[in-house]
A and B are shown apart, each in its own frame.
Chain A
Amino acid sequence: MSDAPQAEERWQRANLALACFALDPAALGGIWLRARVGPVRDRFLKGFDLAVRGKSVSRLHPDIGDDALFGGIDLAATLGGGTVTRTAGLLDRPGVLILPMAERAKPRLAARLARALDDRKGLSLLALDEGAGPEERIPESLADRLAIHLDLGDVPLSDAPELQLDTDALVEARRVLPHVTVPDTTISDLAQVAFRLGITSLRAPLQALALARASAALTGETEVDESDLLTAVELVLAPRATQMPEAPAEEEPPEPEPPQDDDTPQDSDENSETEDDTPHIPAEMMLEAARAMLPPDLLARMEAGRAARNAASASGTGAAKKGNRRGRPLPSRAGRLGSDTRVDLVATLRAAAPWQPLRRQTTGQNDRLHIRMSDVRVRQYEERSDRAIIFVVDASGSAALARLAEAKGAIELLLSEAYARRDHVALVAFRGDGADILLPPTRSLVQTKRRLGQLPGGGGTPLASGLKAALELAGLAQGKGMTPSIALLTDGRANVDLSGVANRARAAEDSRLMARAIRARGLSGLVIDTGLRPTRGLDELARDMGVPYLPLPRADARSVSSAVDAALDVA
């Protein structure tokens, strides 16, 4: 297997990264470790324990509350002692934080941690990312703050011996570190490499610089040399690359493929590194090294990139959750008082009631209610956002009337199920020279039936207008805390553009733009081809929208309904 040497090398790099981190955790911010739970990760964590020995290490969890992070009033002690007692937050004291299941961290937690790391109060973070697919990863804002990105995904255990950390060398390196100097060209070299790898954040080259310093100190040098820079590129810059660096100058052929079989270029790199002693080549050389190190899924990631990121942020907090209706109340439970909880007073009193005589006896105070921390009941809500399915229905002349009837039937069916599932349904129809929002998100069966019945057919196909209306509706629904999906039913022959003019070319272009706008918003959905034969170009539109394409040449109402159901449930 060609993988083997690579994996081993990756493990050694992890070892080096750990040593650098142990040396200067605050400047490096931390490590983003991508690996599933398993013996390899355990070995790494064992090494990590060595690296941070003597520091305060705390474990977070993805749903950690603000009380724990920032500290708060310790109610038990406060009520008991009669004076305000505050608890210290994890972010208030210097130390090392470990965040397991980092891929599940919400943007709000990421923002809080990012800010704490930015404050440079000696905090550093090890984010353990157990994401399975490329879209499942830690929030960008956090990744940006962590200098070292490691992927131990497919390192076999046989290639992962126990990590070595030479503590004496560390002590020596710590002494050297403040005196490490950087040649003048280094900063511009790093900036250039970062830029050509498509890294926009300016934190990355700074972190690379810090890592190069640490690497130099580890070898006992007082000046950063090429090998340190290469290490920095490998550990900090290459994993962040968002584009293939364009070919340097002349003879180097461009490498369009991600380096799947990169053993050869890597080898030649090492050779050139040892042979070449000319003082000024680093920028190109570092790029070369970076190219060898680029994550193999780079191209796939670039493809998925934006859409995935947007989808991820849409499912998080922030805009998507604004004004969310708080859901159905659940039975209250025993809990701690915190900033974001609401006390269920009645339940609390009920819980305290049986204890009153006993507590009166023990305290000797008869004139008051005795309520202890353990009595506190906290209100809970089932908080989930409602789905809003926006049907965009082609009511043009080309979509034969029978198909329209089927679409109507499907919507009615979905709607009758919606009552049980608490979905909202909205309806946009496009025909003639524009689109109408026939029904804003609703659960009303009667209203929908009436509107659907009145839906006329005929005229041109202003697909773009339909999508635009759907997009606006989706924004509205998001503002109300719902999670909108768009189901487009059309035969796809757009022939009227956004301004309502019949122009086939412009119409197609406009619908494509709108589809991309929908994708950029990270909305889920699907495209149902209601044409008698699969329509050319409609699958492309679905791709532009980033949703599945479903040709249903002989669909009846029930199959449309179940198709929508299946597609959106998976999404």
Chain B
Amino acid sequence: MTEQPLTGPFPFSAIVGQDEMKLAMILTAIDPGIGGVLVFGDRGTGKSTAVRGLAALLPPIRAVAGCPVNSAAEADVPDWAHVHDHSVVEKPTPVIDLPLGATEDRVVGALDIEKALSHGEKAFEPGLLARANRGYLYIDEVNLLEDHLVDLLLDVAQSGQNVVEREGLSIRHPARFVLVGSGNPEEGELRPQLLDRFGLSVEVQSPRDIDVRVDVIRRRDAYDRDQSAFLADWHDDDMALRARIVTARAALARVDAEDAILRDCAELCVALGSDGLRGELTLLRAARALAAFEDAPSVTRAHLRTVAPSALRHRLRRDPLDEAGSTTRVTRTVEEVLA
């Protein structure tokens, strides 16, 4: 990590505007327990750019060198892995891309065909879920993903464990990851069950302001023309942001949330009629992460106000008549409840 990268994804801090999306991603980096981000919006608004940029922003994790599931300690390395190198090293936080064409085999892992054919040995070849353990799993165009894969991902994301029972293999390994999905709602909706599993959801729009648009184009052009100079320019900003995330992680446990705030959360969710308790929990967690990020000693109503739309908008029952959309409904209710 000492060498300055000469090529890499577009730097996260160089993304113009889209503050809500960036904040949502930062919050999950501070507290992975918030549980994933869903980014829905127009084409060409930097959805995937942000996720790819996020990878460079995340602080490294310490993991056993050869471990396919990035175990933190030697004892956690699964038996089937046959790891020889047990030294604990620093690895970048994994951000794994789940390509649309991925087969179930590649996602969950499967029989290692090479070994099976050449040595007649039954070995497990870990899949993307294994590699994403302790990191991020990114699905672009999540709304176009095959149904059976979606079900599978939901199940794993929920349990934190990947269980493989196939081709005579019986294997389980930890698979805790933050699910980041992006997509364009015009190409298909997501099932409510899947929506609910994402902690935060963000709607991105193409910026309406000419100056902002010009800025976006200018930076992207600069990046395309001279990647390494552009990356060097933004390296410090990215590192500063990373430092803030690290500090916020440490501060997270110390952030207070008074009873009044808990009450506010509950009232908000009741007023919005969001199903289940997941909404309240996520709202609180996100607000706490935000407080930690802003170096505040306790969660305030201002924090709630900021994160409420992302934490709640995808948990409302859809009302086909409400043309304003769920964002406005959440903001309106927030104003009423927290007045």
B-contacting residues of A (Cβ < 8 Å)? 27, 66, 69-70, 73, 78, 82-84, 107-108, 111-112, 115, 118, 139-141, 144, 182, 187-188, 190-192, 194-195, 200-206, 209, 309-310, 313, 316-320, 322-323, 339-340, 468, 471-472, 479, 498, 510, 513-514, 517
The interface residues of chain B lying within 8 Å CB-to-CB of A340 are: 103
Closest CB in chain A relative to B228 CB, distance in Å:
15
A201-B44, A319-B188 known; A190 and B117 CB under 8 Å? no
The interface residues of chain B lying within 8 Å CB-to-CB of A309 are: 186
B171-230: which residues lie under 8 A (CB-CB) from chain A? 184, 186-191, 206-207, 210, 213-214, 216-218, 220-221, 224
A310 to B213, CA, bound (A): 27
Closest CB in chain B relative to A235 CB, distance in Å:
17
Instruction: Classify chain B's interface size.
Output: 35 or more
A248 to B42, CA, bound (A): 27
Closest CB in chain B relative to A105 CB, distance in Å:
12
A140-B186, A471-B320, A517-B321 known; A187 and B221 CB under 8 Å? yes
The interface residues of chain B lying within 8 Å CB-to-CB of A319 are: 143, 188-190
Nearest to B115 among chain A residues (CB) is A84
- Let me know if B117 and A313 touch, CB within 8 A: no
Given contacts A191-B210, A200-B42, A202-B216, 13 further A-B contacts (CB under 8 A): A70-B99, A82-B117, A107-B187, A108-B144, A112-B101, A115-B141, A140-B186, A144-B43, A202-B44, A203-B44, A205-B213, A340-B103, A513-B321
Whether a CB of chain A sits under 8 angstroms from the CB of B140 is: yes
The interface residues of chain B lying within 8 Å CB-to-CB of A66 are: 101, 103
A70 to B102, CA, bound (A): 9
A-contacting residues of B (Cβ < 8 Å)? 42-46, 48, 99-101, 103, 105, 113-114, 117-118, 140-141, 143-144, 147, 184, 186-191, 206-207, 210, 213-214, 216-218, 220-221, 224, 320-321, 323
- Interchain CB contact (< 8 A) of A111 among B45, B141, B186, B321: B141
A187-B221, A201-B42 known; A318 and B321 CB under 8 Å? no
- Let me know if B101 and A205 touch, CB within 8 A: no
- Interchain CB contact (< 8 A) of A82 among B118, B206, B210: B118
8 closest residue pairs by CB, A with B? A318-B188, A201-B44, A66-B101, A200-B206, A319-B188, A339-B103, A203-B44, A517-B320
A318 to B100, CA, bound (A): 12
- Let me know if A202 and B189 touch, CB within 8 A: no
A-B contact pairs, 22 of them (CB 8 A): A82-B117, A84-B117, A107-B144, A111-B100, A111-B144, A112-B101, A115-B141, A140-B186, A141-B187, A188-B210, A195-B213, A202-B44, A202-B207, A204-B44, A206-B217, A206-B221, A209-B221, A313-B187, A317-B188, A319-B190, A323-B147, A339-B105
- Let me know if B43 and A140 touch, CB within 8 A: yes
The interface residues of chain B lying within 8 Å CB-to-CB of A200 are: 42-44, 206
The interface residues of chain A lying within 8 Å CB-to-CB of B117 are: 78, 82-84
